[in-house]
Amino acid sequence: IEHTTLINVPTLFSTIQTAINYASDGDTILVQPGTYVENINYNGKNLVIGSLFLTTEDTSHISQTIIDGNESGSVVTFENGEDSTVVLTGFTIINGDATENYSRGGGINCYNSSPRLENLSIRGNSAQRGGGISCYNSSPRIVNVEVSGNSTHGSGSNSGGGGVYCHYNSSPEMVNVLINNNSSADFGGGIFSSHASSPNLANVTIC
């Protein structure tokens, strides 16, 4: 017997991660405005997770629906082969500080996964590799996203990408993206790309 395909947070579950743990492939998790202090992992499930922007297309819901990583790891992690049927949309992603998993992706960490990241504001996150977004063997589709005020920490040849880090066959598609006011101790304040990675940029501002 299939359970409901629309899971409401916090009405049904108080946290996004609890909703993910309950959800089945094909479900949609709809998150009401508020601040959710947690670090979430899709766990390889084929899910759409969105704020009320998903149903209303009202951009005010992006700033009103916040996932706060509390400086205790990547805010959102995709590491189990998630593909383009998996969606994260309509959130502000803040206060991620990646120290584990080679310190990748303070805001969003894509590892061997290529989800759709849409209508997001990714701000004030840090990692050694990819303060805002890290892509390792991953080519997510990044659309209508602001990556601002993120940074890298540490140093060395693998430190880089204050805004976005692309490494090892990572060719994300970025459309209508603002990469602004990010910084890196070593390489690529805005974007760092290496090891057979070829990001595809359309209407992208890096400043």
Express each pLDDT in 28-62 by its tens digit. 999 999 999 999 999 999 999 999 999 999 999 99
Residues 6+ apart with CB under 8 A from 19: 7, 9, 12, 13, 29
DSSP element (H, E) containing 22 = helix 16-22
Q: What is the mean pLDDT of the chain?
A: 95
**Model confidence at 2: pLDDT above 60:** no
Q: What is the pLDDT of residue 24?
A: 95
Q: Which helix (H) or strand (E) holds 56?
A: helix 53-56
The structure tokens listed for 50 are 């969105």
pLDDT of residue 1: 36
**Statement: residue 4 has pLDDT above 90:** no
Q: What is the structure's pLDDT at 200?
A: 97
Q: What is the pLDDT of residue 159?
A: 82
What's the pTM value of the predicted model, to 2 decimals?
A: 0.96
* Predicted pLDDT at 149: 98
C-alpha radius of gyration, the chain, whole number: 16
The pLDDT of 101-123, averaged and rounded, is 96
Would you say the C-alpha torsion 100, 168, 121, 10 has a positive or negative sign?
negative
One-letter identity of residue 144: N
Q: Which two tokens stand for residue 111?
A: 């590892």
- Percentage of the residues of the chain whose pLDDT score is greater than 90: 91
Q: What is the mean pLDDT of residues 106-124?
A: 98
